[in-house]
Amino acid sequence: MKLEILKEIIKKKEKKTEFAIITNLSSGESEIFEEDKPLSKNFEKYIDQIKNFYKSKKNGVVDNTDIFVETYIRPIKVIIVGAVHIAQYLVDFAKSLNFEILIIDPRGYFASEQRFPNIKIINKWPNEAFKEIETNTNTALIALTHDPKIDDPALQHALKKNFYYIGALGSKKTHENRCQRLRDAGFSDDKIKSIHGPIGIKLGGKSAPEIALSIVSQLVSETYKK
């Protein structure tokens, strides 16, 4: 691989840009692929197959060739609201997945570096915290506090920004009350139905790690539906 290509790959990784590396395994020739950018003649004729690998977020060899496609996908931003016990297990499960984790909780005694090492923590109320975070439809929200003063503003932000995944912890009754507050705030039933509540896939477990597993399983499932 040429040095200039390697330098460009490093820059793109640092900027969390989505791209693919196209390599001819026989000749060693490599090239960076990005959507809407042309490829050289040596790779151009395989563009459809290369795009299929890229869009499906998979690596592989183009059929009947020596062309290997390696995709680099921007991490999914997952915002956890509430530095509760379940959040610690969520972070542990997510470490090996392609998620960029942030935690919002104004309660500093919960959201501390000691409890969540190497995780970005914002010790502010959600309305203030979201001013510091770039969010879009490629963002997920997990609300865990049960406290409407903390969860509700975060849920409202996620609904307005059309997060691809929104989940909120709590019983069916808690969720019914939550939905009514969102209606009172002007959100439609269609919008509110996009919230996974109670959060998580029904695995039957009740302990903190089991609940965290059910949440991250649902998150991964919804991520692959995008």
Start-end of H helices in the chain: 3-14, 41-44, 47-55, 85-94, 126-129, 148-160, 172-184, 189-192, 208-223
The yes/no answer on whether domain 76-223 falls in CATH 2.40.37.10 is no
- Number of helices (H) and strands (E), helices first, in the chain? 9, 10
This prediction's pTM: 0.77
Task: Break the chain into its structural domains and give their ranges.
Answer: 3-72, 76-223
Q: pLDDT truncated to tens, each residue of the chain (226 aa)?
A: 777 888 888 888 777 778 899 999 998 899 999 888 888 888 988 999 999 888 887 899 999 899 999 988 778 899 999 999 999 999 999 888 879 999 999 998 888 888 999 999 999 999 999 999 999 898 999 999 999 999 999 999 999 999 999 999 999 999 999 999 999 999 999 999 999 999 999 888 889 999 999 999 999 999 888 7
Name the 3-class secondary structure at 143.
strand
Least Cα distance to 148 among 179, 118, 121, 172 occurs for 179
CA distance 51 to 114: 43
Name the residue type at position 62. Answer: V
Strands 139-143 and 76-81, by their bridges, are parallel
Q: And the tokens for 76?
A: 């999914």
